[in-house]
Amino acid sequence: MRNKDSWVHIKSDSDFSIHNIPFGIFSTDNKSPRIGIAIGDEIVDLLEVWELGLFKPLLIPKEVFKNQFLNDFIALGKEKTNKVRVLIQKELLNTNSLLREKPTLLVKQENAMMYMPVFVRDYTDFYSSIEHATNVGKMFRDPENALLPNWKHIPVGYHGRASSIVVSGTNIHRPMGQILLPDSKNPVYSESKKIDFELEMGFIIGKNTSLGDTIKIDEAKEYIFGKVLFNDWSARDVQKWEYIPLGPFLSKNFASSISPWVVTMEALEPFRIAGPEQTPEVLPYLKYKGEKNYDIKLQVLLKPENKEEKIISNSNFKYMYWNMAQQISHHTMNGCNLSVGDMMGSGTISGKSPDSYGSMLELTWSGQKPLQLSEGVQRTFIEDHDTIIIKGYCEKEGVKVGFGVVKTKLLPSIK
């Protein structure tokens, strides 16, 4: 099965290959928001596929596809959502497909408006990269004891603000906050001077649980529908003042940005790999078998206004110390209930080398080592009208599965 086997033109390097088939919500000038599938530079309108009768054996109501969010579709369960994905994949390879008889069924991505793919009721952000946690610990605590005593025993996390998660292309404003200036005992109210990105991936919960339920480690994959790129914006100067004793609050909840296409776990299956060795040995409920990490190449670019973009980080999701199965198992070990569409952030993804760090905080070592973007242009943190672009993809033996981009411009504060 190759891209060129499809009757839809798909470039060889497209993120949205015949192997991918991700889901999202789109509209056009003459189409209301609805579910689509990305293929090459096109979108397959699943509402029109339903109208052709191809989904009739699956007994899926029309309203599921004519929807502003994927939640109802995801709630059908993997047995049905996987069948939809495989059916579309087969039809895109079938030169006699009924889909070819309805030209309005395919929409150019450049002509479509993309939306938040899911309604996020709850959002949890983890802190699961040992390289990132170690770097932060070295900067702000004891370089010889960078990790806190609990870090290698639990997937550390906190509950964030779901309402301020926005889709790629949504500009955000520099936040105001309380900041403690150097050599001062009292804070000031000011715009944040240290806005940062955090390179993360998000995964979307695909199955409800009830209060009191726990998810065993070997059951966790059934509760993950798919993944998106995730930029967890941070105001580092606000964070430094507020995070003791309860952690991030206003320094994080002003915005997080996600990519619009949800790549299913089935599409990512060929890219599973072993994770890093976990020492000391974890508690029994966190022990797992098999390959639970994923080889997903990640890239961050910074584009100043009216200037060329520049790659500032090349990282990989495979570096994560705590994997998604462990995160879900830990999240529910106390009976916390999950809902379809809930978002889980991986935490900042940093690699072992300085060019693979997942934040400006690390890349510039808290501003001590400015990044040179072009002649006469450098950055310690993100400036007004800068755009941060995050890309991600998997590639193996000629098979590519990508996530597209999450792209966000930082605008001046609203004072």
The reported pLDDT for the residue numbered 140 is 83
The rounded distance, in Å, linking the Cα atoms of 228 and 204 is 8
Q: Tokens representing 311? A: 């790659």
With a CB cutoff of 8 Å and minimum separation 6, the contacts of 336 are 211
Residue 196 dihedral angles phi and psi, to the nearest 5°:
-135, 155
- Cβ-in-10-Å burial (0-12, 13-18, 19+) of 152 comes to middle
AA letter at 397 = E
For the stretch 136-152, pLDDT in tens is: 999 988 888 899 999 99
In 199-309, which ranges are E strands?
199-205, 224-232, 234-235, 256-258, 263-264, 272-273, 293-294, 297-303
The rounded distance, in Å, linking the Cα atoms of 144 and 117 is 43
SS in 3 state form for 277-316? CCCCCCCHHHCCCCCCEECCEEEEEEECCCCCCEEEEEEE
The rounded distance, in Å, linking the Cα atoms of 286 and 47 is 41
The rounded distance, in Å, linking the Cα atoms of 192 and 240 is 11
- Residue 277: pLDDT band by 50, 70, 90 thresholds? very high
For the stretch 181-235, pLDDT in tens is: 999 999 999 999 999 999 999 999 999 999 999 999 999 999 999 999 999 999 9
For the stretch 17-28, pLDDT in tens is: 999 999 999 999
- Residue 376: pLDDT band by 50, 70, 90 thresholds? confident
The rounded distance, in Å, linking the Cα atoms of 171 and 305 is 13
For the stretch 314-330, pLDDT in tens is: 999 999 999 999 999 99
Kindly state the average pLDDT of the residues 277-299.
97
Q: Tokens representing 104? A: 């309005």
Kindly state the average pLDDT of the residues 342-354.
97
For the stretch 69-110, pLDDT in tens is: 999 999 999 999 999 999 999 999 999 999 999 999 999 999
Q: Which of 19, 132, 330, 331 is catalytic?
A: 132
Whether the predicted pLDDT of 118 surpasses 80: yes
> Which H or E element spans position 37?
strand 31-39
The rounded distance, in Å, linking the Cα atoms of 356 and 54 is 45
The rounded distance, in Å, linking the Cα atoms of 210 and 336 is 8
Predicted structure pTM score: 0.97
The rounded distance, in Å, linking the Cα atoms of 230 and 166 is 10
In 55-196, which ranges are E strands?
106-108, 113-114, 123-126, 157-160, 165-167, 172-173, 176-179, 188-191, 195-196
The rounded radius of gyration (Å) of the Cα atoms in the chain is: 22
- Asked whether the beta carbons of 12 and 3 are under 8 A apart, the reply is yes
For the stretch 389-400, pLDDT in tens is: 999 999 999 999
The reported pLDDT for the residue numbered 142 is 84
- β-bridge partners, 127: none
Query: How remote is the C-alpha of 239 from its chain's centroid?
Result: 22
What average pLDDT is seen over the chain? 96
With a CB cutoff of 8 Å and minimum separation 6, the contacts of 272 are 290, 291, 292, 293, 294, 295
Whether the predicted pLDDT of 1 surpasses 80: no
What sign does the CA torsion over 375, 170, 128, 367 have? positive
Q: Tokens representing 300? A: 């961050």
Percentage of the chain modeled with pLDDT above 90: 95
Pairing assessment for the beta strands 31-39 and 23-28 based on DSSP bridges? antiparallel
> Which H or E element spans position 22?
none
The reported pLDDT for the residue numbered 141 is 83
Q: Tokens representing 362? A: 């690390």
Whether the predicted pLDDT of 372 surpasses 80: yes
The reported pLDDT for the residue numbered 195 is 98
- Catalytic annotation present for 132: yes
